[in-house]
Amino acid sequence: MKTAISIPDPIFEEAEGLATRLGMSRSQLYATAVAQFVEAHREEAILAALNEVYAENDSAVDPVLNQLQWLALPHEEW
């Protein structure tokens, strides 16, 4: 898809130099940058959702289960 965007001249110039150094087209550079930005924000959204779930639910280990796990461990002499 073709699109037009406006960006400050200094950012454009830096991007041009980076694309040249990396041997990629301007379109490839911008597509890669946007994809990484979208992915970073997707991960933030997932983290926010997990934090919300854990804030609403007790995530502590059941004390009875904890005791059973402890008893199931083999006892060793040191």
d(CA 29, CA 15): 8
> What is the residue-wise DSSP string for 67-78?
HHHHHHSPP---
Instruction: Kindly indicate the confidence band of residue 57, based on its pLDDT and cuts at 50, 70 and 90.
Output: confident
Mean pLDDT value across the chain: 90
Residue 75 scores a pLDDT above 90: no
* pLDDT of res. 11: 96
* pLDDT of res. 58: 76
Going from the C-alpha of 51 to that of each of 37, 38, 40, 54, 61, the distances in angstroms are 21, 20, 17, 5, 17
Sketch the domain layout of the chain as residue ranges.
Answer: 9-72
* pLDDT of res. 41: 85
Of the chain, the percentage scoring pLDDT greater than 90 comes to: 46
